[in-house]
Amino acid sequence: MDMFFVLSGFLIASLVVRERQGTGRLDLRNFYVRRLRRLTPALLLVIAAMGIYGLVAASPGELERLRVQGLWTLGWMANWRFIIDGTSYTDFVAGVSPLRHMWSLAIEEQFYLLFPLLVMVLAAARLGGSTGLRTRLLVVASAGAVASAVWMAVVHHGSATIERAYFGTDTRAHGLLIGVALGALLVGRPPVDGRAAVVLRAVVVPAVAVLVVLFAVAAEGAAWMYRGGFVVMAVATAVIIASVGASSWLASVLGARPLVGLGIISYGVYLWHWPVITILDSQALGLSGFALAMAQVAITLGCALVSYVVVERPVRSGALGRLLGPVSVAAAPLGIAAAAAVLVFGTQMPTVASSTSDQQLATAPASSAANGAALAGPADCRAGRRRAGRRQGRLLRCRWSSPETPWPIRWPVDRWGRVRLRSRRGSRHRAPLTPVRSGCSASPDPSAPTCRAG
């Protein structure tokens, strides 16, 4: 995502500086409306689709997480929710979230919200007109990028997990700010000739080679990525962007029609690729290997193309304004409310019926080959029956006594009394449950005595 952060920072900074130079002012309302038209319609489509997925196909263990993460995504704060959740652990328990990729969109949205305000503050200093604004923006963005990169290394060194350093807006801002610095320097016009062009022609090939190597060896958990690796990737991307005008072969490659077409629907591809990969896996499609990858690529491109033709392009061209007139100003809040309603309705937790007799308790298996980790027994599990939807059957509401899972976790149980666990890769496994009397402590040790229900 660092490549896209740099590109976004470059494009937005170039747009804002050019507007300021041309008109002497910055129209905040117009800027925010354009960003809403660009980002919101396709995002609402994906959120509504997640609500439908929760209603018809998601396992009960996914529902609450899907609802909460979807609502935070609509609020442009998904990355901070992933930090709160401890996403690596929740992915381990309930499978990888289909909304996990929304962290980067949240960071970009926060950047779009704050960056124009920063430009207005810098412009208010009135030191040297528009040229002075570019200089100040270049200095501030460069200093901010250095500070963000150093802060990422500090946070990663002092944290037991990578979530804070990986998902934080402050720790990932250096990619956007490097793009902003480049935009303030070039204002969207990469050099075509002159000394700068000669230098760029000499460094563009090494920059491409650096990106290729990083793609091959980099991993999000590698410590060296947080101690300069992400910064190197961002700088290499900035060099490539600046070299488009000076390097004829690079311009030819990036100008190829397939890449141009992919660029047009790239936002939709970004939104749909991760839900397709996590939901339509080998178990869902009955495919594996190359055939599975090609099917997922085809489905992603199809969803992105439909989204662009049916939703994104009409909204960006003003179709809602022509259709609804003045009422169209309410389209964004109404659309967000509608998508949130679909998400909440589709991800409601099953109702659990209470029994007047002694509550039935159950112990989870001490260990499972599904996830390779021991699970402590629940301190309080109540059995019930869900009577609607495809997931009919018994459901357990458990509060685990293990310190690793201090929150309620709900497991689906089939009619033979076997709990279905979802592994990290999404495959489901079954293991038997042991009923015990109410008030008896459940033990993960098979040799320990238990109070069985009479």
Q: Identify whether residues 331 and 393 lie together within a single domain.
A: no
Q: Identify whether residues 396 and 326 lie together within a single domain.
A: no
Q: Identify whether residues 187 and 119 lie together within a single domain.
A: yes
Going edge to edge, which strands form the sheet with 393-400?
A: 378-386, 393-400, 408-413, 418-422, 428-432
pLDDT of residue 61: 80
Q: Are strands 428-432 and 434-436 parallel, antiparallel or unpaired?
A: unpaired
pLDDT of residue 158: 79
Task: Let me know if residue 100 belongs to a domain.
Answer: yes
Q: Identify whether residues 209 and 270 lie together within a single domain.
A: yes
User: What sign does the dihedral 271-274-278-281 (CA atoms) show?
Assistant: positive
Which run of H or E residues covers position 357?
A: none
Write phi, then psi, for 188 (nearest 5 degrees).
Answer: 75, 10
Q: Identify whether residues 321 and 430 lie together within a single domain.
A: no
Q: Identify whether residues 174 and 131 lie together within a single domain.
A: yes
Of 342, 369, 400, the last residue of a domain is 342
Task: Let me know if residue 386 belongs to a domain.
Answer: yes
Question: Tens-digit pLDDT profile for the chain (454 aa)?
Answer: 789 999 999 999 999 999 988 888 889 999 998 999 999 999 999 999 999 999 998 888 888 899 999 999 999 999 999 998 876 544 544 568 899 999 999 999 999 999 999 999 988 876 555 558 889 999 999 999 999 999 999 999 877 678 899 999 999 999 999 999 999 999 878 888 788 888 999 999 999 999 999 999 988 888 899 999 999 999 999 999 999 888 888 889 988 999 999 999 999 999 999 999 999 999 899 999 999 999 999 999 999 999 999 999 999 888 877 777 777 778 889 999 999 999 999 998 765 544 433 344 334 443 333 333 333 333 333 333 333 333 333 333 333 333 444 434 444 444 344 444 443 334 444 334 333 333 334 444 444 433 333 3
Task: Let me know if residue 448 belongs to a domain.
Answer: no
Other residues' Cβ atoms within 10 Å of the Cβ of residue 156: 18
Task: Let me know if residue 88 belongs to a domain.
Answer: yes
Task: Let me know if residue 427 belongs to a domain.
Answer: yes
Of 296, 313, 342, the last residue of a domain is 342
Task: Let me know if residue 451 belongs to a domain.
Answer: no
State pTM to two decimals.
Answer: 0.75
How far are the Cα atoms of 40, 99, 268, 321 from residue 306, in angstroms, in the given order?
Answer: 15, 20, 9, 21
DSSP classification of residue 279 = H
Please tell me the number of Cα atoms within 13 Å of 245 on its side-chain side.
14
| Count of positions (residues) in the chain | 454
Q: Identify whether residues 306 and 372 lie together within a single domain.
A: no
Task: Let me know if residue 184 belongs to a domain.
Answer: yes
Q: Identify whether residues 299 and 421 lie together within a single domain.
A: no
CA angle 239, 245, 247 (to 5 degrees): 75
pLDDT of residue 423: 37
Count, in order, helices (H) and strands (E) of the chain. Answer: 19, 7
- CB contact burial 330-346 (16+ within 10 A = b; e otherwise): ebbeebbeebbebbeeb
Q: Identify whether residues 277 and 399 lie together within a single domain.
A: no
Cβ burial of 264 (10 Å; 0-12, 13-18, 19+) is middle
How many domains is the chain built from? 2
Task: Let me know if residue 352 belongs to a domain.
Answer: no
Alpha helices (H) along 87-228:
87-94, 102-123, 129-158, 163-167, 169-186, 195-217
Q: Identify whether residues 391 and 266 lie together within a single domain.
A: no
Domain that holds residue 370: 361-436
Q: Identify whether residues 247 and 218 lie together within a single domain.
A: yes
pLDDT of residue 149: 96
pLDDT of residue 440: 38
Q: Identify whether residues 100 and 173 lie together within a single domain.
A: yes
